[in-house]
Structure formats: C-alpha cells, structure tokens
Structure 1
Amino acid sequence: MVKLNYTWLLVLVMFSLVFGSVGMSLGSQAEAADINLARGKNVVVSSTEASGNIAANAVDGNLSTRWASTNSDTQYYIVDLGTAQSVSSVILRWEAAYAKQFQIQTSTDNVNWTTVYSNYSNTGGTNTITFPSTTARYVKMYAFQRATTYGYSLYEFEIYGSGTQAATGVLDYIKSISGKQTVIGMHNREPNATPAVQTEKVKSITGKYPGLWSGDLLFSANDVNNRWNMIYEAKKQWDNGAIVQVMMHVTPPTQADAGNWEGGVVSHLSDAQWKDLTTNGGTLNKAWKARLDNYAQYLQYLEDNKVTVLFRPFHEMNQGVFWWAGRPGSTGTAELYRLTHDYLVNTKGLSNLVWVWDMQDLDLNWNVYNPGNAYWDIFALDVYNPDGFTTQKYNTALSVANGKPIAIGECDVLPTPSQLAAQPKWAFAMSWAELTFEKNTNAQIQTVYNASNVITRDELPKLK
C-alpha cells in the first residue's frame, strides 16, 4: 500500500513538472507550427460589460481572463495586426456565453471587409477555423446571434498565418518598411556570458521584446571564451522571431585576439602597420585573415542554421579612437572594410550577411569613408551628439545612402514616435545597452515600444 502511494505520488509529481508550469497558458497544434499573430495586439470591440472583462483579455494568452460584451446580439471584436500579413486560421476559445451565429471577416484598411468564414449553428467551446490564405491587417469576429441571454465572451481570439507562407528576406523586409515604420532594436553589451541582459530588461519594462537583437564578438578573455554563447543566443533570438545583428569590437591584429579596451580596441596603428595590414601578403594582412578565419566559424554556424545576420564589422568608421577607424579616403578604413568583405564573402563563402556601413554623427562628411556601394546594404548612423535627430543628419543620411535603407545604428536617447514620423526612412533604431536605461525613463521607453510606427519582435513577419 505504501509502495502504491509513492508510485502515484511520483506520477503526480512528474505530471506537475511537465504540465504544471503551463498552468492556464495556451498550447495548440497551430501554435506549435506558427506564431499567434494576435497576441498582445491592439483591439477594438463593439462593447464591454461593466465587470472589467476588457477587450485586451482575449489577446493576452491567458485562459483565466476573458472579454465579455454587453447583452445584445450584434457585436464585434477586431484585432489590428499592425501591418498587413498573410492569415489563414483563427481559433476562438469561448466562455459559456458563446455566439450561435457569427462570421470571421478580414480587411486591409478597416473599412472594406471580406467574409472568409460563416457559422450559423455554433455549439461553443473552441472553434478552430481555417480558410484560404488572405492578406489582412484587421481580423474581425462579427457575431449576430447569441446562444444565451448574456452577451458574448471569449477567453482568447487567436490568429495564425499560413504554415506554408514564404518567409521574407531580412533586407527585403527592411526595404519594405522604409518610410512607413521603424524596427526598434537593443544592443546587448558584455559579458557574452549573458548576451540578452538588456533585451530582457526592456521586456520587463514594456512587455515587448525589441525587434532587433544585437551582440558582439568582443575582446576580453572572458568574452572571447564565451563567443559561442553569444552566437547560440543569436540563433535563439532568430528562432524567436527577432532580426539579428553581430558587431566586432575586437583587438588589432598586432595583438592577441583576447585583450583590453584601452590599448587594444582603443589604440592606433602606424601608417606603416596600416599599409602592411591592407596589402595582400603582408604580415598583418595574414594575421587579420587568420582572425577572419576564426570569426567566420561563428557566422558559418549561423548560416548553417539559416540565420540571416546584419553584420557590422567596423563600428563608427569615422571615430578615430578605434584602431580601425578615423582614416578617410580609399586606402583608409574603407580599404579594410573592403578587404574584410571580400575575404568573408569570396574566400570563406558566407552568404547570410547583410552588410552595414556605420558612421557616427561627429560631422556630416561621411562619404569619405564609403567603402563603395557594392560593399554595403544599409547605411547606419550612430546618434550621440546632444543635438539629437536633426533634419540635417537625416537628409545627409538619405543623400549618402542614395536610395538604400538607412538606420539609426546606435543611440542613447531614444527617438520619439513623433521624430520617427517626421523622419520615416529610419528602417531600424537601436539603442545602446545600459545607456537606454540611463538616458530614458521607463515611461519614455514604453511610449516608443508601444507606438504604432514602431515594430517590436511580436510584430515582425516570418523572416529568412
């Protein structure tokens, strides 16, 4: 008898460990195959009963909360996906007060609606609804006959895209949103042992993850030893739907790979050393290519796992404190950029990199560092000067980019939604790690992350 009790106790414990942490959160075959596009989105409803069962409850992913309407037949619940997306499935999880007759309708403009599904004899519970894939920004549950004397009540309204929907290339997506919306990003500063600290912190403040996650190969012995940890985090972030960026704050090839900030990353090469570095067959040239052989293994792992990387090899090319930077002209920093590009692309065969040419707002003379238009895909400007996001900087960036996407590569003070609306071509804006929280209040961060013209991770499409 005692043995039987312990056996059942063990079964219960194992059941609790496996299923207990799930609690009332949602799990479904559709979720396993795709992302619930409705989770956390803005909603509009025809009415809400006075009991506090608000509209947002039906898109919060929690089966212990619900939305309830007032007690009349004609009601609606509209989810705004934020951008037009391909949708092909809806799951309605009804409370006891369900709709006997309802329709699912879709729209791209919230004015003209198309009915994609009708049910005139619903029996409640959970409705799993599929229909031919259609492009929609707004998805509506339109109810016109109640099953009870109460109104309508939904635990969850879930929306899914087509399981066979083609993924969008990262660069194509960035081009498509230019002039419309801006992806918000977060750089995660050292240590590489915990490469998502700042990303998780902003999630705790806003309830949303940044659309862009950024990491760095870095230079200290501890961070060099934890590079794989950072790379695994990059894959994890990609798998969770984020755009991924990798940067290189590394030591010069005159030193060991593991080194220091002062005297290492922040140092200077002589003109003779620079010529040796950028001349094929030179001692430093060979040393740098050996470094690139090492760096390429991390990028190759990401390519093997189908991760596209925004690759920013040389941070702030006009910022002369760094060993690679502050050398204008075709034989200066731009030459090292081209050398690095050609070695990683042509010799190492990497094809998963979107190349970012990055400058700082020290002045407006950025073209003297241009590696050549064939060598970069996105122009990024780091905005740290107190004058902030001026129209002059924006217009100069547009001129330098000459039709290619532009981005705020780094900033400490976040651009406001109104500033982004006035300068809509910034395709992404990434704040720098701890400076995000030193230079912006929680309320300011929340305002940016909740703005309709700002894209967070949950609002990104499937990317490739």
Structure 2
Amino acid sequence: MIYSKFLAIPLAIGISLTFTACGGGGGGGGDNNSTPAAVSSKVTSSSSSIVSSSSSSTAMSVSSSSAAVAQNCQVDGKSWPVCNQNQSGWAFENGSYCIATSFCPANRTNLPTIAGRDTPVDASATTKTRAVYTYLRSIQGKYTLTGQQDLTWKDAIDMADRVYKDTGKYPALMGYDFMNYGMTASWAEGVKQTDEAIAYANKGGLVTFSWHWRDPSKLNTSDVNNAQFYTKDTAFQIPVKDGALDSTSAAYTHINNGIDLIAAELKKLNDAGVTVLWRPLHEASGNNGDGWFWWGRTRTDGVPQSFAQILLWRHVYDRLVNYHGLHNLLWVWNGQNAAWFPGDDVVDVMSHDIYDGNDNKTYKSQLSTYTQARKYSAEAKLIALSENSYIPDPDKIATDGAWWLWFMTWNDGNFNEVTLESTTHKDNFWSGEYYNTSAHKSKVYNHANMITLDELPKF
C-alpha cells in the first residue's frame, strides 16, 4: 500500500495501481487435500485443479565456472545475459550477473508443472501451522476467505467491527502491519498490532502480517522524516557483493537488527499459538519492476534489483526460521514479478495487490492477474489477493475460475479525529461507498462461496 510521507496515511488512489500484466487462460486453483476434522461445512471434497511433475526452481545460484552465453533477457527494463542451462535462476558467473533461460520472464508463460506441496515449505512448521496450511489447500479453488486490513496507525479504530456493523459478519482473516515497531516517536501508534492479532486469533480468526520496513539504519529513531520506507525518501539499499549479501557491511547489521526486532513479535505470536500468514517485502517490484520501497529500488552498482530482493527474502527466511526458530509462519510472497521470485522452497503462498482504478464498481474477478501469479513458480502455489480496493464479485470469481484464496480490503485512512467516523472518501476502502457499495459488501460477506469468521474450523 502507498502512504503519505509524514504520518503514514494512505494516499488517495485516483489512478490504476492494478499491478496487472498480460494474462489469460482458464482459472482453477491450488491443490485440494484433506481438511481438518472441524472444518467448515462449506468445505467439501474435490480434486486438485493444478497438478503435474518436474523439479522446482531455487531462483538463485552462484558459480565461478562457465561464462554467460551470448543471449539476453529483458528484466525490469534492462537487458541481462543468459546463463548456461545448468543454472536455475539468477547467477553470478565470472564476475557478472546472468539469468537462466528458464527463469527469464519471457519464457515463463506456462502454468506450473509441479504439484503443490502437501506441507509448508518449513519442514519444522508447528502442528497448528500445518493444519492451517492443509485447510487453505482444501478450500483453494472452491472458497475464498474474507479479509480486512486493520488501521495500523490508529489503535482506537477496529476495522473488524466496522465490517461486522455493515454485514453482520466478521472477516475470516485480519491483516496487521509491523510498520511502526521500532519507532520511538510519540505519535507512533500501531505498536499494539501483535496484541490485536492474538486477540483476533483467540476469537478463532486467521491473521496475516505485512511489514512496511522503515530504513533499517534508523531503528529506534524518533525522527519519522528520517525513517521512511520509500526509495525517494531513503538511500538505504540491500548490500550485495559478488553475488551474495555483504555480511561485512553496516547495512547487513542494520538489516539483521530489524529482523530481530520483528522476530521478537513473531515469537510472541508463536508463544500464543498463533499461525501467521507472513508477507514481508511486499510489492517488491513496484509497478513493472520499478520498486517504490527500498527493498526493490533501482540500483546503479550492476546488481539486478530483483536478484537483491531474492537474496534478502531468503535471508529473512533463514534468519527467522533457522536462527530464531520460528515455525509458526506461512510465507506469502508479494513480489508481483516473475524475475523476482525467490524460489519454491521458501514460498507457501503467491499473492498480488490490486488497486484497480478502472474497475468502476464492476467488481471484476481479476482473472488475468490471478493467472499471471500462477505462472511465477514451478510448483503450484496457493494464490491470494493480498490487498485490494474493489472486492471481486463472488459469482465472477466462480464463473471465471479466478479462485483467490483470500481478499484483503484495505483500511479507512480518512476519519473524524473526534468521533473516528469514516464516510465515503477515496481513502476509505471499506467505509462508505467510494469503492464497494453497501449492497456489494453485504453480498460478499453473506455469499455461499465466501468464508467468514464463524465458518472457520478450529485448528
């Protein structure tokens, strides 16, 4: 999501921010396996709609042998040499970067050829996390979880209650954000997100976290103007040297400090028995490879920004899972570009954010983007709509086969400072009727294909 510079309030969206590209083909979803015993009555058995076989890609490799061949691949507006065929993704060969032919976006036009995994990518995932994953696989292609993003910077506003007031139902999935953790400014609300997530999970809900990761070198600062996450507001970039993260750099230390800060919050969630659909480094590629967050910034040092993001993603995964021993996470990748995909072995769910300025309340299923997202990986992945303005019409989802695993309507950024009331306004993605009419919201939350809080199983 895009925010204003100073107070972390979402900017009005008057143009399309769909992140879409050419797609096509039929729908279908992820794989459907066994469901927990207490599963909702909405879930019935059916066969998988994505199956096949082959080997998975790892999205990166480093080699000192064999030079890049005289071919090129267009990535993020630049031409990169193509590696030898034995490479599986980005590589660093003989002092330069190259990309495998099979990993080149122009060649990633087919749907996955490998069946989705029966278990999370973390082999040590907790019993509950495995149960949640199994449940998610069981509903992919048949149902969609209703989702609502919390208002990170105003603790007094409860977006779940707003959904209930308008529809008589609570969302199955609530979204939270670690954006203001590590800030010491007096205005920095949003540091109750962990507690709020635990409370919602205790009601039986599922939770997802993103992280608007402020400049890692400014951790624990009170100067909000100097602790931003946009490329235009910070010079911080991922430290890369010779095809790997530069572990000797100050930036590397800053990155680890930031990860460790959030690890403490994720541990609180783990200790409370909460499984987190974890979506770090979101919107990495921005729009058409022009990343607006520092983890996707355009570089001038010869390092592909997509490769740098892959290195960082895999480092975040390794530090949280292996160093901190956090096994309550399902990993949701939101890079939105084939060349940025970090590997089948570190991603459970593929996701896209869609702010479609051209929808005009037609509530499209967004089939083309759904199909595009399915093509990023070699293995079939669960596919989610991780942020949205307009909520896709449930009937169109079913008719088109664009079976988003969940949707996540953004929050209300415009409200009366005294009454906290929100009305129709372009910054209010739930309240009012700027994006979703009252009739549409009621239809969505009371539709047979939409799962709400009261219909979730006990994990």
TM tier, shorter chain?
0.5 to 0.7
SS at match of 2:296: coil
Deviation per residue, 1:161-188 (Å, 9 max, x gap): xxxxx99711111111011000010011
Distance 1:232 1:454 in 2: 27
Which of residues 260, 264, 271 in structure 1 aligns to 2:228?
Answer: 264
SS at match of 1:254: helix
Q: State the partner residue of 2:354.
A: 383
Which of residues 398, 404, 415 in structure 2 aligns to 1:426?
Answer: 404
How many positions carry a matched residue from both structures? 300
Is 1:191 aligned to 2:185, yes or no?
no
Contact in 2 for aligned 1:218/1:224 (Cα 8 Å) = no
Which of residues 430, 443, 446 in structure 2 aligns to 1:447?
Answer: 443
One-letter amino acid of the counterpart of residue 264, structure 1: Q
Contact in 1 for aligned 2:238/2:251 (Cα 8 Å) = yes
Contact in 1 for aligned 2:245/2:312 (Cα 8 Å) = yes
Contact in 1 for aligned 2:215/2:227 (Cα 8 Å) = no
Q: How does 1:2-81 map to 2 (within 5 A)?
A: 81=41
**Alignment gaps of 5+ in structure 2:** 1-37, 47-127, 299-303, 360-364, 413-428
Deviation per residue, 1:141-162 (Å, 9 max, x gap): xxxxxxxxxxxxxxxxxxxxxx
Contact in 2 for aligned 1:217/1:224 (Cα 8 Å) = no
Contact in 2 for aligned 1:217/1:223 (Cα 8 Å) = no
Which of residues 352, 366, 369 in structure 2 aligns to 1:393?
Answer: 369
Which structure dedicates a bigger proportion of its chain to strand?
1
Deviation per residue, 1:327-380 (Å, 9 max, x gap): 5555322221111111111111100000100145xxxxx111101111110001
Q: TM-score, normalised by structure 1?
A: 0.59
Offset, 1:462: 0.9
Is 1:358 aligned to 2:322, yes or no?
no
Q: State the partner residue of 2:134.
A: 172
Offset, 1:395: 1.4
One-letter amino acid of the counterpart of residue 425, structure 1: W
Deviation per residue, 1:356-409 (Å, 9 max, x gap): 00145xxxxx11110111111000110113355433222111222441100001
SS at match of 1:439: coil
Contact in 2 for aligned 1:168/1:461 (Cα 8 Å) = no
Contact in 2 for aligned 1:190/1:223 (Cα 8 Å) = no
Q: State the partner residue of 1:436.
A: 430
SS at match of 2:375: helix
Judging changes above 3 Å, is the alpha-carbon distance between structure 1 residues 419 and 225 closer, same or farther for their aligned structure 2 residues? Answer: same
Contact in 1 for aligned 2:173/2:208 (Cα 8 Å) = yes
Q: State the partner residue of 1:238.
A: 201
Deviation per residue, 1:238-269 (Å, 9 max, x gap): 11111111111121112234553786122356
Offset, 1:436: 2.5
Deviation per residue, 1:87-119 (Å, 9 max, x gap): xxxxxxxxxxxxxxxxxxxxx9xxxxxxxxxxx
Q: How does 1:28-427 map to 2 (within 5 A)?
A: 81-83=41-43, 169-191=131-153, 193-194=155-156, 197-219=158-180, 221-222=185-186, 226-227=190-191, 229-258=192-221, 260=224, 264-267=228-231, 274-275=239-240, 278-319=245-286, 320-326=291-297, 331-359=307-335, 366-387=337-358, 389-401=365-377, 402-421=379-398, 422-427=400-405
Contact in 1 for aligned 2:239/2:249 (Cα 8 Å) = no
Contact in 1 for aligned 2:367/2:402 (Cα 8 Å) = no
Q: State the partner residue of 2:100.
A: none
Q: TM-score, normalised by structure 2?
A: 0.60
Offset, 1:211: 0.5
Deviation per residue, 1:304-340 (Å, 9 max, x gap): 1111000111121111221112455553222211111
One-letter amino acid of the counterpart of residue 292, structure 1: I
Distance 2:209 2:129 in 1: 21
Judging changes above 3 Å, is the alpha-carbon distance between structure 1 residues 391 and 406 closer, same or farther for their aligned structure 2 residues? Answer: same
SS at match of 1:436: coil
Distance 2:328 2:372 in 1: 29
Distance 1:167 1:283 in 2: 35
Contact in 2 for aligned 1:405/1:425 (Cα 8 Å) = no
SS at match of 1:186: strand
* Structure number with larger C-alpha Rg: 1
Deviation per residue, 1:388-432 (Å, 9 max, x gap): 543322211122244110000110011111222123431111111
Judging changes above 3 Å, is the alpha-carbon distance between structure 1 residues 372 and 445 closer, same or farther for their aligned structure 2 residues? Answer: same
SS at match of 1:408: strand
Distance 2:260 2:237 in 1: 24
RMSD of aligned Cα (Å): 2.9
Judging changes above 3 Å, is the alpha-carbon distance between structure 1 residues 288 and 186 closer, same or farther for their aligned structure 2 residues? Answer: same
Distance 1:294 1:224 in 2: 16
